[in-house]
Amino acid sequence: MAGLDGVKAGRTERTSRVDGSPVGLPANYKWVALFISTLGMLMATIDGSIVLIALPDIFRGIGLDPLQPGNTFYLLWMILGFLVITSVLVVSLGRMGDIYGRVRTYNLGFAVFTVFSLMLSITWMTGHAAGVWLITMRILQGVGAAMLMANSSAILTDVFPDTQRGMALGVNQAAAFSGTFIGLVLGGLLAPVNWRLIFLVSVPIGLFATVFGYLKLHETSPRRPARIDWPGNITFALGLILVMVGITYGIEPYGHHVMGWTSPVVIGALVTGVLLLVAFCVIETKVDQPMFRLQLFKIRAFTSGVLASFLAALSRGGLMFMLIIWLQGIWLPLHGYAFSVTPLWAGIAMLPLTLGFLIAGPVSGILSDRYGARPFATGGMLGAALSFALLEFLPVDFPYWAFAILLLLAGLTMASFGSPNRAGVMNSLPAQHRGAGSGMNTTFQNSAQVLSIGIFFTLMIVGLMSSLPQNLLHGLVAHGVPASVAERAAHLSPVSTLFAAFLGYDPVQHLIGAQALGQLPHAQQVVLTGRGFFPSLISAPFQAGLHAALDFAIVASLLAAWASWLRGGRYVYSEPEETVPAGGVTGGESDQPTTTDGPSAAAGDGAGPGDAAAAPGGTQPGRPPVPVGAGAAATASGDGVDLDPPSGRSRP
C-alpha cells in the first residue's frame, strides 16, 4: 500500500474546462491570477532598482557619506542586500508555498513587502543608526519580495494550460525585466523631491494588491503537509550568504591592494560558503523531505533551463552597472549634463532596453507555446551575444541613436530568451514541485547576478588600472594640484571612483577633496570640476575594461545558448488520470513527464542523461504498459513521489 499511498499523495490535477481554467472558479480566473502575479513581480523588481538611482538623496537625507572610509558597508548593502536576501530565500519560500499553499504564501509576501516599505519611509534617525535601520528594513522588505518571486510562476503554471503558459509567463517576465529599468527612472523622479517617496510609492499599491489577492486568488493546487528541512535550509542560507558576502567584499580595496580577493576574510567567506553548500547537497540526499529537490535535475528540460538561466543572468547582471557608469561618468557629462542629474538621465537613456523587454516578452512566450522554448530561448541568447559584440564597436562618445538601437536589440533578444526559458522550466516540473522548482530557478538567476557584478567590476577595475593612475596623476598636476595630493588620488582604488560616478557625485572633487580643490585658482577649479575633465581622463582605460567585460558577457551568452539547445523539444510534464504501476495496483496518477513536441519529437526529449528510452507502444523495458501520454508510475517518497526516469512519450 505504500506505493499506492505515494501515488495518491502526488495527485494534483483538477478537472479543467476546454480553455484550461480550473473548474469551480470563475472563467476569467486565470487572467485575474495573471494580473495580480504580474503586479507583484513588477513591484518587487521596481523596488529592487529604485534605490540605485536614489542613493545620493537617501545618504544626504540621513547625513551619511557612503564614500568615506568605513562607510562602504552601507553603500554595498543598500545596493546588494535586497538581491542577496531574495536569492537566499526563494527556494525555501517556494517550498513553503508547496507545503502551506502558494496563494497563501504569495499574499503574505504582499503584506510583508508593504509593511516594510512603510517602515523604510518613516526612518527618524540619522547617521550610522539610520544606515543600519535602512539596511535592516530593506532586508526584511526583501523577504516579502522573495515570497512573491518564489510563487508567482508556480501560481500561473497551475492555472494556465500548457498551450498558454508561455504567453502568461512572458507577460510576467516582461514585467520583471522592465521593472528593473522603470525603477531607475522612477527613483530619479521621486528622490529629488523627497527620498522617502521611493519607498512610500509602494505602500498604496501593496495595500491594494494584498486585499485584492486575499479576495480574488484561490488555491488551485492542494497543500502537501511536510516537515521543514531545517538542516538544509540553514546550511543553504549560510553557505549562499557567505559566498555572496565574499563576492561583494572582493571588489572592495584591501590594504594596499585595489581589490579584496586576497583578503583572508573574503577567502574565508568564499571557502566556508562553498563547503556549507557542499554539505547542503549531501544533506538533501539524506533527508526524507528535502528543501532542494535534487531529483528534479534528472529532467533534462529543467536542468538545461536552469543552467541557461544562470548563464544568461551571469552575462547581463553586471552589465547594467557598466552601462550606467558609462552614461553617468562619461557620455552624459560630455553632452552637457551636470553630474548631479546624470542618475535620472541615465535611467531615461536606458528606456529602449525596457521597450525591447515589453515587446519581445509576451510575443516570444506566445510563440513558444506553439513551437517550444528551444528555438526562441537559444536564438535569444545568440542575439544577446551579437548585441554585446556590437556594443564593443561603439566609441566611448557614441551617437545616441546607435546606442539606443543596440539597447533595443539587447532587450528584444534577452526577453526572447527569458519568457520561453521560464515557460520551458515550469512546464517540465511536476505540479507538486512547482514552487520549489521555480524558487530553485530564481535562486540560480539571482545568485548569478551577484556573481556577475563581482566579475564585471573586477574586469573593469583591471582595465582601469592599466592607465588610469598615470592619466590621473599627469592630468591633476597639469592643472595645479600639488604632486602629493595628485599622487594620493592616483593610487586610490578605482572602485571608489566608479561608485562616485554611479552615485552622481563629482569624481574629481571626491578624489582630491574639497579642501585641496578650494586652494586652487578659480579657473583651475572650473576646469577640474567641469564636465569634460574627468571623462577625458577615464575614457581610454574605461573602454579597455568595458571590452573585457563585454567579452565575458559574449562568452556567457553563447554558453547559455548552448545550454538552452540541450533542453530538447517542447516538453510538458503530464499527470494522467490513471496508470498501472508496477505490482499491478491501479488508480492514482502518474507523475511522469512526456514530451509534447511535434510528430518528430524524439523519445526522451527533455529527459536527463541516463534516462531509459521508451519502448514501442509507450512501454519501457521491465515496465508494464501504460496509457498513451502516461509516464512510469510514481513511487513513494517523503511527499508523495520519487522521480523515475521519464518515459519520453511524444504526441503531436
Q: CA 217, CA 33: separation in Å to the nearest integer?
A: 7
Q: Does 648 have pLDDT greater than 90?
A: no
Kindly report, residue by residue over 544-557, the tens digit of the pLDDT. 889 999 999 999 99
Q: CA 146, CA 83: separation in Å to the nearest integer?
A: 9
- Between 215 and 65, residue with greater pLDDT: 215
Task: Give residue 273's pLDDT.
Answer: 92
Q: Does 3 have pLDDT greater than 50?
A: no
Helices (H), 329-373: 332-334, 342-349, 351-371
Task: Give residue 403's pLDDT.
Answer: 96
Task: Give residue 423's pLDDT.
Answer: 87
Three cell numbers, residue 363 = 510575443
For residues 190-200, average pLDDT: 90
Name every residue whose Cβ is closer than 8 Å to that of residue 305 and which is 6 or more positions away in sequence: 373, 377, 421, 422, 424, 425, 428, 441, 564, 567
Q: Does 224 have pLDDT greater than 50?
A: yes
For residues 126-132, average pLDDT: 90
Task: Give residue 597's pLDDT.
Answer: 41
Q: How far is CA 256 from CA 66, 247, 273, 492, 496, in A?
A: 20, 19, 26, 9, 14
Task: Give residue 457's pLDDT.
Answer: 85
Beta strands in 496-649 (DSSP E): 571-573, 593-595
Confidence label for 645 from pLDDT (cuts 50, 70 and 90): very low
- Between 304 and 608, residue with greater pLDDT: 304
Three cell numbers, residue 133 = 535601520
In the block, cell 543608526 appears at 129
Three cell numbers, residue 57 = 538623496
Please state whether 641 falls in left (phi above 0), alpha (psi between -120 and 50) or beta: beta
Q: CA 303, CA 37: separation in Å to the nearest integer?
A: 25
> In degrees, to the nearest 5, what angle opens at C-alpha 10 toward C-alphas 5 and 15?
120
Write the DSSP string, 467-508. Answer: THHHHHHHHHHHTT--HHHHHHHHTS-HHHHHHHHHHT--HH
Please answer whether residues 605 and 597 qualify as being in contact, where contact means their C-beta atoms are separated by less than 8 angstroms: yes
Task: Give residue 517's pLDDT.
Answer: 82
Kindly report, residue by residue over 565-578, the tens digit of the pLDDT. 998 887 787 765 44
Q: Is 399 helix (H, G, I), strand (E, B) or coil?
A: coil
Q: How far is CA 230 from CA 236, 237, 283, 291, in A?
A: 10, 10, 10, 9
Q: Does 70 have pLDDT greater than 90?
A: no
Confidence label for 608 from pLDDT (cuts 50, 70 and 90): very low
Q: How far is CA 192 from CA 57, 58, 195, 206, in A?
A: 7, 9, 7, 23
Confidence label for 621 from pLDDT (cuts 50, 70 and 90): very low
Buried/exposed 129-147: b ≥16 CB within 10 Å, e otherwise: ebbebbbebbbbbbbbbbb
- Between 477 and 72, residue with greater pLDDT: 477
Confidence label for 179 from pLDDT (cuts 50, 70 and 90): confident
- Ranking 199-203, 265-269, 437-441, 560-564 by mean pLDDT, the lowest is 437-441
Kindly report, residue by residue over 411-458, the tens digit of the pLDDT. 999 999 988 998 889 888 888 788 878 888 888 888 888 888 888 888
Q: Does 632 have pLDDT greater than 60?
A: no
Please answer whether residues 160 and 168 qualify as being in contact, where contact means their C-beta atoms are separated by less than 8 angstroms: yes
3-state helix, strand, coil in the chain (%, to 5): 70, 0, 30
For residues 66-82, average pLDDT: 79
Closest by CA position to 109, among listed 439, 354, 423, 432: 439
Q: CA 633, CA 641: separation in Å to the nearest integer?
A: 9
Q: Does 486 have pLDDT greater than 50?
A: yes
Confidence label for 24 from pLDDT (cuts 50, 70 and 90): low
- Between 598 and 572, residue with greater pLDDT: 572
- Between 634 and 285, residue with greater pLDDT: 285
- Between 608 and 342, residue with greater pLDDT: 342
Task: Give residue 106's pLDDT.
Answer: 92
Q: What is the DSSP letter of 352?
A: H
Q: Does 637 have pLDDT greater than 60?
A: no
- Between 552 and 497, residue with greater pLDDT: 552
In the block, cell 504582499 appears at 110
Task: Give residue 248's pLDDT.
Answer: 79
Q: CA 573, CA 647: separation in Å to the nearest integer?
A: 11
Mean pLDDT, rounded, of the chain: 79
Q: Does 390 have pLDDT greater than 90?
A: yes
Name every residue whose Cβ is closer than 8 Å to that of residue 479 and which is 6 or more positions away in sequence: 520, 524, 527, 528, 533
- Between 330 and 48, residue with greater pLDDT: 330
Kindly report, residue by residue over 238-289, the tens digit of the pLDDT. 988 898 888 878 877 787 777 888 889 999 999 999 999 999 889 988 888 7
Task: Give residue 610's pLDDT.
Answer: 36
Instruction: Give the percent of the chain with pLDDT over 70.
Output: 84
- Ranking 303-307, 511-515, 522-526 by mean pLDDT, the lowest is 511-515
Question: What letter represents residue 231's amino acid?
Answer: P
- Contacts for 12-16: CB closer than 8 Å, 24+ residues apart: 12/221, 12/222, 12/430, 12/431, 12/432, 12/575, 12/589, 13/431, 13/575, 13/577, 13/589, 14/220, 16/161
Q: Count the Cβ atoms, other than its own, within 10 Å of residue 543.
A: 17
